[in-house]
Chain A
């Protein structure tokens, strides 16, 4: 089959549109800073074993609570472990939690929200009731109770935080789908006889994704904060495995003698959350300019 002029025109138009989209991203300073920050964090987490000056669990009992020096960039904690190395390795836990929480809550929330919004009737009412009930539980408290229920291994923490944040994604997805349902292309899909599942998976979800992606990016930030909070309370990943939250908690005991421990770990968390929020704001502005004002309410 040979390409018609229409095909070539369409391809050229698509390429122009893609270039325009890329330009829009490149011109958004918040997006660029956020993307660069996330890239940096990913590199640090992946290359942690090679760039960390020491092992994060190796103790140096002659040098406990040492101040910052050329050997120990941020000093040592009460067991003589290198704080900088613990923070570099701690990035792994935070990013893993952020990534998997988003993956799970985005997939589950998208499907639940899309089904609720598209199906209507009793199924929608039932799903909305469950979502509303789950939203009444403070997410952090829900995550806390679930971790208490399933133990504090990394996978159960990820699952607990993901379950706590899924209703939020589902609620946003449903509200977006409600605006898509009455549009002509959905009616057309029904008219040509597509099954409801095909319509939801092929037409509803792809069109509803942009606002949900924004929510997901911000959820990654809240998930990282939640994991840090759990670690701080002693319910997260257990020491000696370093996480930013447990470094803050352990540093708290030496806060007057070596405040650098807790302070630097807090800055790591804040940096990650800031870049994720900048990325989310940037995505919101570039994916759909109309959402600029509205999504604030959804988060």
Chain B
């Protein structure tokens, strides 16, 4: 087990180095001069040169990369070109509302998606299966921002159940939850559709295996076969599904935040893109990719506790 943990941590380090490298070179591909953006069109050449030197933009790219990597290890991802604040601090400040949305959304997605996928697989070919799969097809086909608009029209304007804005400045847990509910539901249901489809196929694969056939032949009750034997074996693929959909749901979360005018990572990155605040975009992309990598490492460790065979490899 110790070896497995060490291997996972090692892979995590390599993956983090990889995303830092990719993010660095990706953002360098952006045309335009950040110094010019920061100081405006009327800046003097001396002021521009001084700022470029301060941001390290006058160095060769490889040297810039070295400096960037060294600083990144120390938790310094540069300074926002627009506000002059440390980019990482600004990004981390917008993490809580996004994390709340992502966690609430994923919780809704898992609560709806996994059981629906299992039921559809167990009743393969029945009306229930067809119904669930049609719903899921609809869920992955309607753009999430459009579903958000329809939800606002229905639940805010017509029924008045939830506020149209996805956030509030008023204090109070319940107030915040009331504003979070609709965006989380929209995000959650779009991801639930995806999870249901994938859970169904994972479960079908397990249900077709020999040990299930043997259990059936021996007269083990169907309920026990599904919930004890099959589900336990389908757990790893289902967890993997949750890992895969997490990265995907972060993309959807950006759109959901935009529809509900909710502050968060998505809106911070979007504003940074429009302002060409490349240090901030870079920090945001890095933090999101790091979140995906961290979650996948956590899942890898979880697999090993579920399936002892994985620990020995």
Chain A interface residues (CB < 8 Å from chain B): 129-130, 132-142, 144-146, 148-151, 221, 225, 228-229, 232-235, 245, 248, 252, 255-256, 259, 262-263, 265-266, 269-270, 273-274, 277-278, 293-297, 299
Contact = CB atoms under 8 A, between A and B. Distances in A.
Nearest to A296: B201
Contact of A136 (B237, B247, B251): B247
A148 B198 CA distance: 32
A136 B27 contact: no
A297 B202 contact: yes
A252 B149 contact: yes
Contacts, number: 154
Contacts of B293: 136
B157 A137 contact: no
Contacts of A138: 247-248, 250-251, 288-289, 292
Contact of A132 (B15, B145, B273): B15
Contact of B250 (A141, A277, A299): A141
Interface in B128-178: 137-138, 140-147, 149-150, 152-153, 157
Contacts of A245: 143
Interface in B252-271: 252, 254-255, 258-259, 269-270
Interface residues of B, number: 58
9 contacts: A133-B18, A133-B19, A133-B21, A136-B19, A140-B251, A252-B149, A256-B157, A277-B137, A293-B205
Nearest to A140: B251
B221 to A, nearest CB: 24
Contacts of A150: 29, 31
B22 interface: yes
Contact of B19 (A137, A235, A273, A296): A137
Contact of B150 (A133, A137, A266, A273): A266
A151 to B, nearest CB: 8
Nearest to A232: B145
A293 B15 CA distance: 30
B208 interface: yes
A206 to B, nearest CB: 26
A270 B143 contact: yes
A144 B292 CA distance: 17
Nearest to A245: B143
The A interface is mostly helix, strand or loop, or mixed, namely helix
Interface of B: 14-15, 18-19, 21-22, 26-27, 29-31, 137-138, 140-147, 149-150, 152-153, 157, 197-198, 200-202, 204-205, 208, 237, 240-241, 247-248, 250-252, 254-255, 258-259, 269-270, 273-274, 276, 281, 285, 288-289, 292-293, 296
B289 A137 contact: yes
B288 A293 contact: no
A252 B255 CA distance: 14
B142 A269 contact: yes
Contact of B273 (A235, A248, A263): A235
Nearest to A133: B18
A137 to B, nearest CB: 5
Contact of B30 (A132, A139, A149, A297): A149
Contacts of A141: 250-251, 254, 269, 285, 288-289
A142 B269 CA distance: 12
B287 to A, nearest CB: 11
B254 A144 contact: yes
A272 to B, nearest CB: 8
A86 to B, nearest CB: 16
Given A137-B285, A138-B292, A146-B26, A266 B143 contact: yes
B120 to A, nearest CB: 11
Contact of A255 (B137, B152, B281): B152
Give the residue among A132, A138, A296 with the most B Cβ atoms within 10 A: A138
Contacts of B150: 263, 266
B260 to A, nearest CB: 12
B153 A248 contact: no
Contact of B29 (A140, A149, A299): A149
A248 B146 CA distance: 7
Contacts of A252: 149, 259
A293 B143 contact: no
B141 A133 contact: no
B153 A270 contact: no
Nearest to B136: A277
Contacts of A133: 15, 18-19, 21-22
Contacts of B200: 296
Contacts of A221: 141
A136 to B, nearest CB: 5
A284 to B, nearest CB: 11
Nearest to B237: A297
Give the residue among B145, B153, B202, B270 with the most A Cβ atoms within 10 A: B145
Nearest to A248: B146
Contact of B149 (A134, A225, A266): A266
Given A138-B248, A150-B29, A248-B146, A277 B281 contact: no
Given A255-B149, A294-B205, A274 B19 contact: no
B29 A233 contact: no
B198 A297 contact: yes
